[in-house]
Amino acid sequence: MNEIEFNRHRRLRRSSGLRAMVRESVLRKEDLIYPIFVVEGENVKNEVPSMPGVHQVSLDYLKEEMDKLEARGILSVIVFGVPAHKDDCGTEAYTENGIVQRAIRQIKEENPSLTVIADTCLCQYTDHGHCGVIDNGIILNDSSLELLTKTAVSQAKAGADVIAPSNMMDGFTAAIRKGLDEAGFSDIPVMSYAVKYASAFYGPFRDAAHSSPSFGDRKTYQMDPPNRLEALREAKSDVSEGADFLIVKPALSYLDIVREVKNETGLPVVAYNVSGEYAMIKAAAQNGWIDEKEVVMEKLTSMKRAGADLIVTYFALDAAKWIVEDH
Ligand code: PBG
Ligand code: ZN
């Protein structure tokens, strides 16, 4: 008999069987969304220097990449276009034969069971690298909405299954929802980047997508990292504007926000495990300082525990393999 009474939590940790039985959060292959970067040209497979294992690929490599996803049991891909030509109003974002429109059409033709998510923004397509149109150094809200809506509709016409606007203009969800409805796409869901912070963790992505702003920064439209209540206001706006999914981005430094957005809205919540989060783990793993598999699985599972239903991650292919190995 014990002299002092206390609880024996360790009873449920005694064996791997017991631990598996009481595990509260589980990462599934179905939760993973894989980002790809498509570029013009042929026979292009450029590794992004700050993102080992991530490539920009030309369309002739697309099927090979998509077959790999299917073989691993991943259901969905988010497509980023890197156009050959940029101008001040981002024309290549909404032309019928833009790089992203062709990529979407091709995936739906060659790998029709994959769910294709189109990232809807202008920054890869504008010569100034901002996510909207500019006048005198100011990023204009409402005129940007028109071009973003055109972009979303052109992506839906190309066959995108989901539209994911990442531009952080006010009212983008309402504008895009209306534009899609009017164009006959009322069945296409909007996965809104509702809570997107002006984060230093996007650095490697901007190398991959050639989308760094040529002047200034994105702080007048992306959110200020210290803010939490503002994140809830952003999320609620998007719910009222008709969003079907809500993205919180980045993931790791913002898991508190993932949890609150999930609790407050009840919508499917997507954590975007961004490029800088990928790069840090890769760098440490390549130095032998951490165990890559263990660290990746722990951090993706922590996003599930925080309330994420889905996770956009450059680790999707590896994670899907590790999930299978461990079961
Ligand atoms: C563009 C966009 C960005 C990311 C996704 N869409 C970069 C940015 O806002 O600068 C970041 C993705 C990542 O870092 O992995 N609107
Ligand atoms: Zn952008």
Local confidence band at 209 (pLDDT 50, 70, 90 cut-offs) = confident
Paired tokens of 223: 């959110």
Average pLDDT over residues 107-125: 97
Paired tokens of 247: 């993205």
Res. 326: pLDDT tops 90: no
Q: Is 292 helix (H, G, I), strand (E, B) or coil?
A: helix
Local confidence band at 267 (pLDDT 50, 70, 90 cut-offs) = very high
Cα–Cα nearest to 79, from 127, 123, 38: 38
Please answer whether residues 128 and 211 qualify as being in contact, where contact means their C-beta atoms are separated by less than 8 angstroms.
no
Residue with tokens 């010569």: 127
Angle, alpha carbons 243-245-246 (nearest 5°): 90
Residue 262 is a catalytic residue: no
The span from the CA of 260 to the CA of 236, in Å, is 11
Average pLDDT over residues 111-138: 95
> Any residues with Cβ below 6 Å from ligand 1, and which?
119, 121, 123, 131, 166, 202, 205-206, 211, 218, 274-275
Q: Mind listing the pLDDT tens digit for each residue in 52-93?
A: 999 999 999 999 999 999 999 999 999 999 999 999 999 999
Paired tokens of 156: 């839906």
Site to probe by mutation for ligand 1, drawn from 121, 168, 311 as the one with most ligand atoms within 8 Å of Cβ, is 121
68, 86, 157, 249: the active-site residue = 249
Site to probe by mutation for ligand 1, drawn from 56, 166, 197, 281 as the one with most ligand atoms within 8 Å of Cβ, is 166
Binding residues for 5-aminolevulinate, by number, are: 206, 218, 275, 314
Per DSSP, the residues of 146-214 read HHHHHHHHHHHHHT-SEEEE----TTHHHHHHHHHHHTT-TTS-BEEEEEEB--GGGHHHHHHHT---S
Q: Mind listing the pLDDT tens digit for each residue in 222-239?
A: 999 999 999 999 999 999
Res. 194: pLDDT tops 80: yes
Question: What is the pLDDT at residue 49?
Answer: 95
Q: CB under 8 Å to 60, separation ≥6 — which residues? A: 42, 43
Q: Mind listing the pLDDT tens digit for each residue in 38-53?
A: 999 999 999 999 999 9
Question: What is the pLDDT at residue 1?
Answer: 57
Res. 327: pLDDT tops 90: no
Q: Please state the length of the chain.
A: 327
Going by alpha carbons, the residue nearest to atom 5 of ligand 1 is: 166
Question: What is the pLDDT at residue 100?
Answer: 98
Please answer whether residues 247 and 194 qualify as being in contact, where contact means their C-beta atoms are separated by less than 8 angstroms.
yes
Domains detected in the chain = 26-326 (3.20.20.70)
Local confidence band at 168 (pLDDT 50, 70, 90 cut-offs) = very high
Could you tell me what percent of the chain has a pLDDT over 90?
95
**Closest ligand to 48 CA?**
1
Question: What is the pLDDT at residue 2?
Answer: 63
Q: Mind listing the pLDDT tens digit for each residue in 85-108?
A: 999 999 999 999 999 999 999 999
**Closest ligand to 148 CA?**
2
Please answer whether residues 190 and 63 qualify as being in contact, where contact means their C-beta atoms are separated by less than 8 angstroms.
no
CA–CA distances in Å: residue 18 to residues 12, 15, 250: 6, 5, 33
CA–CA distances in Å: residue 10 to residues 7, 16, 24: 9, 12, 16
pTM assigned to the model? 0.96
Distance 91 CA to ligand 2 centre (A): 14
Average pLDDT over residues 164-171: 96
Res. 294: pLDDT tops 60: yes
Local confidence band at 184 (pLDDT 50, 70, 90 cut-offs) = very high
Per DSSP, the residues of 198-224 read --GGGHHHHHHHT---SSS-STTTSBP
Residue with tokens 């990746």: 296
Q: Mind listing the pLDDT tens digit for each residue in 304-318?
A: 999 999 999 999 999
ipTM above 0.85, yes or no: yes
Res. 211: pLDDT tops 90: no
Please answer whether residues 244 and 191 qualify as being in contact, where contact means their C-beta atoms are separated by less than 8 angstroms.
yes
Cα–Cα nearest to 151, from 211, 219, 79, 215: 79
The mean predicted confidence, pLDDT, of the chain is: 96
Q: CB under 8 Å to 15, separation ≥6 — which residues? A: none
Going by alpha carbons, the residue nearest to atom 16 of ligand 1 is: 166
The span from the CA of 22 to the CA of 269, in Å, is 24
Per DSSP, the residues of 58-93 read EGGGHHHHHHHHHHHT--EEEEEEE-S--BTT-GGG
- Cis preceding-peptide flag for 250 (omega within 30 of 0): yes
Residue 196 is a catalytic residue: yes
196, 282, 299, 304: the active-site residue = 196
Binding residues for Mg(2+), by number, are: 234
**Closest ligand to 279 CA?**
1
Please answer whether residues 173 and 238 qualify as being in contact, where contact means their C-beta atoms are separated by less than 8 angstroms.
yes
Average pLDDT over residues 275-290: 98
